[in-house]
């Protein structure tokens, strides 16, 4: 058998393993299948290359360019995923596990690609939040912007998800505009290396944006500056060691940590045997114990159930576990593969023994279990092991020792407050699930336990068909947790991207803010073009271009007509006396929607032209009532332009309605789709 030489990709070169290389074994056979590592890797050259070549290339692109790049990359990986599946079996993972790792990683990239296009601008500066008004006359205002860090992101990943672990970090990093150096865990780095090779061969990523360290990282962390970021996933012990590095502390290098976690699942007091929730609970616990042979950061380690239901829960979970086929992950019938290595097996058995000092093992004997198609002596196989802890209030290992394999402990609770106390004993977890059909219980647990968790997952008969599973971090939602879970907050859509950007508050005049943010700010320069803006194409329109309409008087007849026509006969528009009793109105007033409709009639250019559709309104506010006899006029200004396809783009118009005294009565953003 040829031993695979797992290379690093440094400063544009593939570097083979050399001095300091480590052997990597197959999880199934225990044979050495690869080597990785090279002590001669020049970490400073890699950092310089990322900072001077990859960073500028990425920063020259807009968020939309980078989002399109992510989409192309994900689709390219999808076309080549079979080769990654084939290689991944040696990590002990089954085909279903590959779907989580490989397809899950590709899916995460696609979500970031989509969010980048929908929620971020086609620009290099991201505007964060709303304008802050700092002065009486509006000549000095504040806004926050986010721009990419000008250094490099170091991604240090755990062994269990060699593909997802890399892609879920690369997606927000690239979208932010920051180059990355990926350091996978050595045990499974051959899978990551293949994935990197596929990505680089596509030539979709700019030169210097992606480098790979297979094997040890050397002293790379000692060379980091305030423009760099480290995103770590792994054990709490390694996290502590790395985040204590003096360069990281001294230079305030951003350090995000996703560490280990004693996640729990609570069976609600209402979810007793015979309910759909009970069956759902058993199914989820079984899935979390056996997927990836329990080597999942989000796996359920603690099963918290009402005291009277404990025996039934043990029996139901044990019955399911007894039917789980363990063996060679390459076989179709295998439901649970092996741990990643014999070292990992030793570690899991040691940790399980510690848990065994406080809990009785009620299912699974590591000395006696069936394995199909593989050699129990050579492969890193263990059975699922279920423990029962009768005294969870005084136990420590049960709540504090992570056996990173198919090991869970069940414990009873007396009431909801007790369940909350037990779940919080994890000292900060990635996720807890609560299986209940009772919103009151859900609410009590959310208030009592959310502060100790990065994610709470509620499930019941109403949501179970479409729910995504206790163990799945989703790109739309933050992944991470407080305390021993690392204190990190990855993913979460644009929130995840912001980890790789600096937020800067800008205090300036409206003109300067418009120039920096590429979005027109009220108070900055307006200019008129002789032609109506609705006759001008997306490309012809300029930010700040404004149409001011002549005034239109509002009559009582208009209000009555609108009320009758739409059916909106709310008393404030119909009954002067009643309206006067309302603290907000001087008497009978015009409908806000009447004003909006009039505004559209006042600024529209009715003929067929480049405006294709009105696609929505943002931030509508009615600020002052309008009575019969008042008049309104409209200011329509091009605030922002966003390319959407190669045929049309979105124009965001700032619209202000003012009365005869120049007081603002309504303000909003109008969105239209315009042809180029």
Residues that bind ligand NAP (CB under 6 A): 156-160, 183-187, 216-217, 233-235, 238, 241-242, 258-261, 297, 402, 404, 430, 486
Residue recorded with tokens 């590591």? 366
Looking at beta carbons only, is 159 or 653 nearer to ligand NAP? 159
Query: Helix 164-176 and helix 104-119: axis angle, to 10°?
Result: 20
Residues whose CB falls within 8 Å of the CB of residue 645, separated by 6 or more in sequence, listed in order:
none
Q: Is the dihedral of CA 400, 406, 407, 413 positive or negative?
A: positive
**Interatomic CA distance for residues 145 and 20, integer angstroms:** 44
Q: Give the DSSP letter of residue 484.
A: G
Cβ 212 to ligand NAP shortest distance, Å: 12
How far is residue 477 from each of residues 485, 492, 542, 634, measured CA to CA in Å? 16, 4, 36, 40
The H-or-E segment that residue 453 falls in is: strand 453-459
Shortest distance, position 234 Cβ to ligand NAP, whole Å: 2
By C-beta, is 219 or 393 nearer to ligand NAP?
A: 219
* Strands annotated E in 264-314: 264-267, 302-306
- Token digits of residue 313: 């829960």
Q: CA 394 from chain center: how many Å?
A: 36
Of 185 and 359, the one with the shorter C-beta distance to ligand NAP is: 185
Q: How far apart are CA 251 and CA 246, in angstroms?
A: 8
Catalytic residues: 258, 297
d(Cα 439, Cα 329) in Å, to the nearest integer?
Answer: 40
Of 282, 299, 261, 263, the C-alpha closest to 406 is 299
- List, as one string, the DSSP characters of 399-415: HH----SSEEEEEEESS
Question: Residue 193's Cα: distance from chain center in Å?
Answer: 24
Nearer to ligand NAP, 189 or 547 (CB): 189
Shortest gap between Cβ of 69 and ligand NAP (angstroms)? 25
As measured in angstroms, the least distance from the Cβ of 106 to ligand NAP is 18
Closest by CA position to 595, among listed 550, 548, 632: 632
Query: Taking the complex as a whole, how short is the minimal distance between the CB of residue 165 and ligand NAP, in angstroms?
Result: 7
Element (DSSP H or E) covering residue 230: strand 229-233
Name 580's Cβ contacts closer than 8 Å, sequence gap at least 6: 586, 587
CA gap 54, 137 in Å, rounded? 44
Compare residues 55 and 454 and give the one whose CB is closer to ligand NAP. 454
Nearest distance, CB of residue 543 and ligand NAP, angstroms? 42
Task: Report the residue number, 261 or 334, with the smaller CB distance to ligand NAP.
Answer: 261
CB of 483 to ligand NAP, least distance (A): 12
Residues near 378 by Cβ (< 8 Å), separated by ≥ 6?
A: 29, 30, 31
Closer residue to ligand NAP in complex, CB, 429/436: 429
Cβ atoms of 124 and 59 closer than 8 Å: yes
Looking up tokens 């721009």 gives 147
Nearer to ligand NAP, 260 or 545 (CB): 260
265: phi then psi, degrees, rounded to nearest 5: -130, 130
Q: Which is nearer to ligand NAP, 20 or 544 (CB)?
A: 20
Tokens read off for 670 = 């109008």
Torsion of CA 349, 351, 354, 359, to 10 degrees: -80
Q: How far apart are CA 275 and CA 88, in angstroms?
A: 39
Can you spell out the DSSP letters for 599-638?
A: HHHHH---SS-SEEEEEEEEEEEE-S--BTT-EEEEEEEE
Minimum CB–partner distance for residue 156 and ligand NAP (Å): 5
Question: What stretch of H or E contains 63?
Answer: helix 63-79
Shortest Å distance, C-beta 621 to ligand NAP: 41
What is the DSSP-derived secondary structure letter of residue 292?
G
CA–CA distance, 222 with 81 (Å, rounded to integer): 36
Q: Nearer to ligand NAP by C-beta: 404 or 622?
A: 404
Nearest approach in angstroms of CB 140 to ligand NAP is 44
User: 215 or 517, CB closer to ligand NAP?
Assistant: 215
Task: Give the nearest residue (CB) to ligand NAP.
Answer: 234
How far is residue 78's CA from residue 412's CA, in Å, rounded to a whole number? 44
Residue 285 CB, nearest approach to ligand NAP (Å): 18
Q: Taking a C-beta distance cutoff of 8 angstroms, is the pair 10, 38 a contact?
A: no
């Amino acid at each position: 058998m040829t031993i695979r030489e797992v290379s690093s990709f440094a400063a544009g070169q593939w570097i083979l393993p050399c001095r300091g290389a480590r052997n990597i074994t197959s999880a199934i056979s225990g044979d050495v299948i690869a080597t990785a590592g090279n002590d001669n890797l020049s970490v400073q050259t890699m950092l310089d290359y990322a900072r001077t070549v990859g960073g500028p290339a990425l920063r020259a692109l807009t968020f939309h360019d980078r989002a399109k790049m992510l989409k192309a990359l994900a689709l390219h990986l999808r076309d080549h995923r079979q080769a990654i599946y084939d290689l991944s079996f040696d990590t002990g993972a089954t085909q279903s596990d590959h779907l989580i790792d490989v397809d899950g990683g590709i899916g995460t990239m696609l979500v970031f690609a989509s969010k980048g296009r929908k929620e971020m601008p086609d620009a290099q500066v991201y505007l964060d939040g709303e304008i802050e008004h700092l002065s009486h006359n509006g000549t000095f205002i504040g806004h926050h912007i986010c721009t990419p860090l000008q250094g490099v992101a170091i991604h240090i990943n755990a062994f269990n998800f060699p593909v997802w672990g890399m892609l879920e970090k690369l997606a927000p990093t690239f979208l932010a505009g920051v180059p990355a150096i990926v350091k996978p865990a050595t045990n499974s780095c051959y899978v990551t290396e293949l994935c990197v090779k596929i990505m680089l061969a596509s030539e979709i990523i700019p030169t210097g944006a992606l480098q790979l360290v297979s094997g040890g990282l050397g002293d790379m962390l000692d060379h980091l500056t305030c423009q760099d970021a480290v995103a770590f996933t792994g054990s709490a012990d390694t996290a502590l060691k790395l985040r204590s590095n003096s360069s990281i502390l001294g230079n305030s290098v951003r350090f995000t940590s996703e560490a280990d976690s004693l996640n729990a699942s609570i069976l609600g007091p209402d979810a007793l045997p015979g309910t759909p929730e009970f069956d759902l609970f058993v199914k989820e616990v079984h899935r979390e114990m056996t997927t990836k042979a329990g080597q999942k950061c989000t796996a359920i380690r603690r099963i918290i159930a009402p005291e009277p239901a404990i025996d039934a829960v043990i029996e139901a979970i044990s019955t399911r576990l007894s039917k789980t086929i363990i063996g060679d992950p390459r076989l179709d019938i295998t439901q649970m593969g092996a741990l990643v290595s014999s070292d990992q097996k030793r570690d899991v058995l040691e940790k399980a023994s510690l848990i065994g000092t406080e809990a009785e093992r009620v299912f699974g004997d590591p000395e006696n279990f069936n394995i199909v198609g593989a050699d129990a002596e050579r492969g890193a196989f263990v059975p699922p092991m279920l423990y029962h802890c009768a005294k969870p209030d005084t136990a420590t290992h049960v709540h504090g020792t992570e056996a990173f394999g198919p090991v869970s402990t069940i414990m009873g609770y007396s009431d909801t407050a007790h369940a909350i106390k037990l779940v919080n004993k994890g000292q900060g977890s990635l996720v807890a699930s609560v299986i209940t059909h009772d919103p009151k219980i859900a609410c009590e647990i959310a208030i009592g336990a959310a502060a100790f968790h990065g994610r709470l997952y509620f499930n019941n008969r109403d949501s179970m068909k479409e729910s995504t599973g206790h163990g799945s971090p989703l790109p739309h939602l933050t992944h991470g947790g407080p305390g021993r879970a690392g204190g990190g907050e990855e993913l979460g859509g644009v929130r995840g991207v912001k980890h790789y950007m600096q937020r800067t508050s800008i205090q300036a005049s409206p003109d300067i803010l418009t120039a920096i943010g590429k979005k027109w700010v009220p108070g900055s320069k307006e200019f008129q073009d002789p032609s109506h803006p609705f006759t001008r194409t997306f490309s012809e329109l300029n930010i700040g271009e404004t149409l001011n309409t002549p005034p239109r008087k509002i009559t009582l007849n208009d209000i009555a007509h609108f009320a009758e026509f739409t059916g909106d006969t709310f008393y404030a528009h119909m009954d002067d006396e009643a309206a006067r009793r309302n603290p907000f109105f001087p008497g009978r007033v015009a409908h806000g929607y009447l004003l909006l409709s009039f505004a559209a009639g006042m600024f529209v250019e009715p003929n067929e032209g480049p405006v294709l559709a009105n696609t929505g309104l943002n931030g509508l506010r009615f600020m002052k009532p309008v009575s019969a006899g008042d008049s309104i006029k409209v200011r329509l200004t091009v605030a922002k332009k966003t390319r959407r396809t190669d045929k049309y783009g979105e124009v965001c118009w700032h619209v202000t309605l003012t009365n005869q005294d120049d007081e603002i009565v309504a303000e909003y953003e109008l969105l239209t789709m315009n042809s180029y």
